[in-house]
Amino acid sequence: MSQNVTWNGTLTALAGYSGTVSLSCAGAAPATCVVSPSSLAPTATGAPFTVTTGNATAAAFNFSIQGTDGTLTHTQAVGLSVNTDVTWNDTGNTSAAVEAGESAVYTFSAVPMGGGTFTAPVNFACQNLPALTGCTFIPPSITAGSGTTPVTLTIGTAGPNQGSDVRRTGPNTRHQSSSEGSRPLMAGQIARATILTWLLAIPMAGMLLMAIGGGRISPRIEVAVCVAVLVSLALLAACGGLGGGAGSGKGVTVSVSPPSISLLLGGQQQFTATVINGSSQTVNWSASMGTIDSTGLYVAPTSVATPTTATVTATSESNPSSSGSAMVTLTGPTVTVTVSPGTAALFANEAGNNWPVSATQQQFSATVTNGTSQTVTWAVTGGSANGTIDSSGLYSAPANVPNPAAVTVTATSALTTSPGTATVTIQAPTPVGTYSNIQVTATATGGVAHNDQITLTVH
């Protein structure tokens, strides 16, 4: 139904005029046309009056406001264009309940009033919406010339429900094996063998010369020579001879080459061992950190708590009490901690919500690179007002959005002073509750807004 329109006017008296004038609508006036007051005395400064007009049917009216004192009559032409008005009809439920993040849908019918079609565009709007919501209409407006039109209103809320609903460790293995090899006799052994050889050769040579000269060797001398030979052989065997017997172990040392090196983590180095004064060059290899094979090939570990020193040892197999060693200084990249995922977005955990735990919780994991332990300590910068995190890395959002909304989660390893970090952005959802005074308005151009009331419940 069209709304009444009011005009304000004045009636001014000319010099010397002193009468009373009656006012009325004249011509093709609309159904409603009221002048108030209906009569008054003009004044030099202007006597005020109002004209109220309206019509229930859309049309254009051209009429006049007439004033007469019975002798003189004056008219003022005016015009009025009456457009079709609009009224709402509910075609569905006026109440809806959703989880935060879902959308509530309402249906209406926009009906032209005062004519079969709208003579001007009709626009829609929402009022009294709760925080963090928005409304959309389909269609967004009604064009002039359209008739009764179905309208769908969607109110979107903010929240987690969008319309619908390794740890690795590298143990340091100690590998122990043996290495075999033959080397020439050492200088001491050669000297001893030479002396004993001469002791044996002298009596033998004497006997040979006497035989060549045709001399006769007495049985007593022969016995003496034989005894000397036997004693020489015994001494030669006792001193290790030419290397054929087992040594006594006295004075045996083992030399490892190179004696000291610096090696990157995970790197390799070939070591050699020399057994001095021993009867065998066979050694057993071992390492305090990393691994070493039977040939002396050392492999450094891939990670350590801090750059440190490893000992490589070669032990004589025939004389286990004799060994030599080399020092390996291990170097490599620093220990770092990485948190995964690096970023996350959650919602403030409002009381009374029915959301999935994924909306307010995030599981983090930490990797300690170049470290011997994957153990970390979890924390939330700023304390419990920014949320909490347990020993497994499970973070829980706070009940309210903190300021700032970006929260830092840290994972700290005892092997380094630099923690790993991740950022959690806490988002604000539409507040949980029931909102029963939401106004949906439809306004025809040139008219006033017509309201319909709906209710929204957010869980």
Q: Is there a single domain that holds both residue 232 and residue 308?
A: no
Q: Is there a single domain that holds both residue 78 and residue 89?
A: no
Looking at residue 245, its pLDDT comes to: 35
Going along 364-415, which residue ranges are E strands? 365-369, 377-380, 388-389, 394-396, 406-412
Q: Is there a single domain that holds both residue 17 and residue 69?
A: yes
| Whether the predicted pLDDT of 120 surpasses 60 | yes
Residues 6+ apart with CB under 8 A from 127: 438, 439, 441, 451
| 58-72, 156-170, 316-330, 414-428: range with lowest mean pLDDT | 156-170
17: confidence class by pLDDT, cuts 50, 70, 90? confident
Does any domain span residue 302? yes
Q: What is the dihedral of CA 276, 281, 282, 285, to 10 degrees?
A: 50
Taking only the tens place, the pLDDT of each residue in 296-322 is 999 998 777 666 899 999 999 999 999
163: confidence class by pLDDT, cuts 50, 70, 90? low
Domain count, the chain: 5
Which of 199, 215, 238 corresponds to the end of one domain? 238
Looking at residue 2, its pLDDT comes to: 53
Q: Is there a single domain that holds both residue 322 and residue 353?
A: no
Looking at residue 247, its pLDDT comes to: 37
Average pLDDT over every residue of 279-293: 96
CA atoms of 211 and 209, how far apart (whole Å): 5
- Mean pLDDT taken over the chain: 83
Q: Does a cis peptide bond (omega within 30 degrees of 0) precede residue 139?
A: yes
| Whether the predicted pLDDT of 160 surpasses 70 | yes
Assign residue 9 the CATH number of its domain.
Answer: 2.60.40.2310
Sign of torsion, CA 343 345 348 351? Answer: negative
Looking at residue 28, its pLDDT comes to: 87
Looking at residue 295, its pLDDT comes to: 97
**Strand arrangement, sheet containing 133-138:** 85-90, 103-113, 149-157, 133-138
On the CB side of 229, CA atoms within 13 Å amount to 12
Going along 203-342, which residue ranges are E strands? 253-257, 260-264, 268-270, 272-276, 283-287, 291-292, 297-299, 309-316, 323-331, 336-340
Q: Is there a single domain that holds both residue 341 and residue 321?
A: no
Q: Is there a single domain that holds both residue 342 and residue 423?
A: yes
Looking at residue 250, its pLDDT comes to: 59
Does any domain span residue 28? yes
Q: Is there a single domain that holds both residue 346 and residue 413?
A: yes
Burial class from Cβ neighbours inside 10 Å (0-12, 13-18, 19+) for residue 327 reads middle
Choose between 295 and 84: higher pLDDT: 295
Q: Is there a single domain that holds both residue 451 and residue 421?
A: no
| Whether the predicted pLDDT of 95 surpasses 70 | yes
Q: Is there a single domain that holds both residue 312 and residue 360?
A: no
Choose between 165 and 97: higher pLDDT: 97
Taking only the tens place, the pLDDT of each residue in 39-62 is 999 999 999 999 999 888 888 899
Does any domain span residue 352? yes
| 145-149, 176-180, 372-376: range with lowest mean pLDDT | 176-180
Does any domain span residue 180? no
Assign residue 108 the CATH number of its domain.
Answer: 2.60.40.10
The number of beta carbons lying within 10 Å of the beta carbon of residue 26 is 16
Looking at residue 171, its pLDDT comes to: 36
| Whether the predicted pLDDT of 404 surpasses 50 | yes
Looking at residue 334, its pLDDT comes to: 75
Does any domain span residue 182? no
Share of the chain above pLDDT 70, in %: 80
Q: Which pair of structure tokens corresponds to residue 279?
A: 């009867």
Question: Using the 8-state DSSP alphabet, how is residue 242 labeled?
Answer: T
Choose between 164 and 446: higher pLDDT: 446
Closest by CA position to 459, among listed 106, 126, 165, 125 = 165
> Which domain covers residue 14, as residue numbers?
5-82
Which of 82, 97, 121 corresponds to the end of one domain? 82
| Whether the predicted pLDDT of 174 surpasses 70 | no
Average pLDDT over every residue of 338-362: 94
Q: Which pair of structure tokens corresponds to residue 334?
A: 């620093």
Q: Is there a single domain that holds both residue 72 and residue 96?
A: no
Q: Does a cis peptide bond (omega within 30 degrees of 0) precede residue 150?
A: no
Does any domain span residue 171? no
The number of beta carbons lying within 10 Å of the beta carbon of residue 69 is 16
Looking at residue 222, its pLDDT comes to: 54
Does any domain span residue 170? no
Looking at residue 161, its pLDDT comes to: 87
Does any domain span residue 42? yes
Q: Is there a single domain that holds both residue 192 and residue 137?
A: no
Q: Is there a single domain that holds both residue 340 and residue 417?
A: yes
Strands 59-68 and 39-40: unpaired
101: confidence class by pLDDT, cuts 50, 70, 90? very high
